Amino acid sequence: MAEGRHRPQRTCLGCRQVHDQSRLVRFVRSPEGTVLVDYREKLPGRGAYTCLSVECIKQAVSRRQFDRAFRTVCQPLSADLLTVELTEALHEHLAALLGMARKSSQAVSGGNLVLDALDRPEKLAVVILAEDVSEGVAEKIERKARVRGVPCFRFSTKADLGQLLGRGERSVTALTKGRLAEAFLTEWQKSKDISGER
């Protein structure tokens, strides 16, 4: 990217701070007046933005900022529902990135293969454990990943991970270093931001 390239700036409807558009989440108003999360920024129409923060979404709803942004009355809003929709959109994007990693041979799946790959930690960007992985397997993988300095966290179920990877159930997978892994880690941080995790 060229130095000094202009990045679109937008104001969060909640905290009213100005940020790069890429750091915010976009919302649109449907023809029926419903406010929709447009996480991938593909829906037509005027956009409104908030930070990836439950608090900012709540403030935007309570202060009727979506009505002001869209210059018309919107259907009754629930900050909780918008947060759920945003969380689901983030989950879907993470799943899509895993699928792309599989298709481009940038994913290693299966406990033994991931353990072997952790012997070459310079090639791995992240280890992903299913939320329903057995604690014995999780402890072994997490311990080795921690020693090797590779981030490790839990995402989805064994059945869903297997489906995303084009296989049977998978309790663990890892992404090799590259742009897809970087994108996955960026999206994972966003999911932590919206959930309030640290």
Whether residues 108 and 175 fall in one domain: yes
Question: Is a pLDDT exceeding 90 seen at residue 140?
Answer: yes
Domain that holds residue 186: 88-192
Let me know: does 154 contact 192? Beta carbons within 8 Å. no
As a whole number of angstroms, the distance between CA 124 and CA 136 comes to 22
Asked, for residue 185, whether it belongs to a domain, the answer is: yes
Final residue of a domain: which of 55, 77, 99?
77
Residues in CB range of 70: below 8 A, 6 or more apart: 29, 35, 46, 48
pLDDT tens by residue, 188-198: 988 888 876 65
State whether 18 and 106 are in the same domain.
Answer: no
Assigned token pair, 52: 């990836």
pLDDT at 167: 81
Give dist(CA 55, CA 66) in Å, integer: 15
Mean pLDDT of the chain: 91
Q: Is 149 left (phi over 0), alpha (psi -120 to 50) or beta?
A: left
Q: Is residue 66 included in any domain, yes or no?
A: yes
Share of the chain above pLDDT 90, in %: 82
Of 69, 73, 142, 70, nearest to 111 by C-alpha is 142
Residue 77, pLDDT score: 87
The Cα–Cα gap between 73 and 34 comes to 10
Average pLDDT over residues 141-160: 93
Across the range 117-145, mean pLDDT stands at 93
Q: What is the mean pLDDT of residues 34-52?
A: 94
Residues 61 and 13 sit within 8 Å (Cβ to Cβ) = no
CATH number at residue 143: 3.30.1330.30
28 and 68 housed in the same domain: yes
Residues 96 and 171 grouped into a single domain: yes
Q: What is the CATH number of the domain that holds 41?
A: 3.30.1230.10
Query: Would 43 be classed as within a structural domain?
Result: yes
